[in-house]
């Protein structure tokens, strides 16, 4: 059976972008609850985006070292299927909300992936992103994909600087469970470009078929 690499498009702020992401074939969309990000949403924006997402496309709420009350407030207000933690959150914190979670990790050296799998062993998936001090995500920069081992126990979501012109190579090199993109499918921070989302999905499907 051919592999089907899942695609998550992160950092949506507008309902129309959610409709376009789903039409392009995205499996999941991300809502950034982190004030310093240019892609941050408030509860009202998040509700509007979440409501525009069709069934069977997952909604992911993303946080960076949040106050637990913020997470609880989002869960009480916005329909989301998954949480994503992009800071230094320990496993007990991540699991304390009773919702499947994705843990973002930065791979700096060989062995980092295995250590993260051992630490966040109950995560739904680990998201491997680029390490840039002071920038917890959305860097627009790739990292050394050879740091991802071929044998993995948890699903890998590959992130960091992916774009329509390099995601095919990334999928062929790493064969991740999913890819995650933010800046590579935008025309401005937080403003997704339907044509770039379609191109991105097209490249992923071509790589799946190769
Ligand atoms: O997107 C942001 O602005 C962001 C800010 C702080 C923490 C996480 C953030 N994004 C998380 C994501 O899942 C991004 O898609 C991922 O970091 C890749 O971003 P990019 O390199 O722009 O594709």
Q: What is the DSSP letter of 54?
A: P
In the chain, the largest separation of any two C-alpha atoms, in whole Å, equals: 46
- Closest atom, ligand 1, to C-alpha of 140: 21
pLDDT computed for residue 1 by the predictor: 55
Query: Residue 94 catalytic?
Result: no
Exposed, middle or buried: residue 128 (CB in 10 Å: 0-12, 13-18, 19+)? Answer: buried
First to last CA, the chain: 13
pLDDT computed for residue 136 by the predictor: 84
Closest Cα to residue 180, out of 33, 29, 70? 29
Mean pLDDT value across residues 179-207: 96
Q: How far is the CA of 36 from the centre of ligand 1 (A)?
A: 12
Question: Does residue 171 carry a pLDDT above 70?
Answer: yes
Task: State if residue 62 touches ligand 1 by the CB under 6 angstroms criterion.
Answer: yes
pLDDT computed for residue 138 by the predictor: 84
Q: What is the DSSP letter of 183?
A: G
Spell out where 49-207 has E strands: 58-63, 82-85, 101-106, 125-129, 156-158, 178-181, 186-188, 191-192
Please check whether residue 32 is in contact with residue 14, taking contact to mean a CB–CB distance below 8 angstroms: no
**What proportion of the chain, given as a percentage, has pLDDT over 90?**
91
Q: Give domain limits for the chain.
A: 6-209
pLDDT one-digit tens code per residue, 109-137: 989 999 999 999 999 999 999 988 888 88
The CATH topology of domain 6-209 is TIM Barrel (3.20.20)
What is the average pLDDT value for the chain, to the nearest integer?
A: 96
Q: Distance (Å, rounded) from C-alpha 40 to C-alpha 120?
A: 25
Residue matched to tokens 């989002």: 74
Handedness of CA 194, 143, 29, 64 (dihedral sign): negative
Mean pLDDT value across residues 80-107: 97
Task: State if residue 86 touches ligand 1 by the CB under 6 angstroms criterion.
Answer: yes
Residue matched to tokens 């949403």: 41
């Amino acid at each position: 059976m051919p592999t089907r690499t899942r695609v998550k498009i992160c950092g949506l702020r507008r309902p129309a972008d959610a409709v376009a992401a789903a039409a392009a074939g995205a499996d999941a969309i991300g809502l950034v609850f982190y004030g310093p990000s240019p892609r941050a949403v408030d509860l009202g924006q998040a509700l509007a985006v979440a409501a525009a997402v069709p069934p069977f496309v997952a909604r992911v709420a993303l946080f960076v070292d949040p106050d637990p009350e913020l997470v609880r407030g989002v869960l009480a207000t916005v329909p989301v299927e998954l949480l994503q933690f992009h800071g230094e959150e320990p496993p007990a914190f991540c699991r304390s909300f009773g919702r499947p979670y994705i843990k973002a990790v930065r791979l700096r050296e060989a062995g980092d992936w295995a250590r993260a799998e051992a630490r966040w062993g109950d995560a739904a998936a680990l998201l491997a992103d680029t390490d840039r001090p002071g920038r917890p995500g959305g860097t627009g920069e790739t990292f050394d994909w050879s740091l991802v081992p071929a044998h993995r126990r948890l699903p890998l979501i590959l992130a960091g600087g992916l774009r329509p012109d390099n995601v095919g190579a990334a999928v062929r090199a790493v064969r991740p469970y999913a890819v995650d993109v933010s800046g590579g499918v935008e025309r401005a921070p937080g403003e997704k470009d339907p044509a770039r989302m379609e191109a991105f999905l097209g490249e992923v499907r071509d790589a799946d078929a190769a």
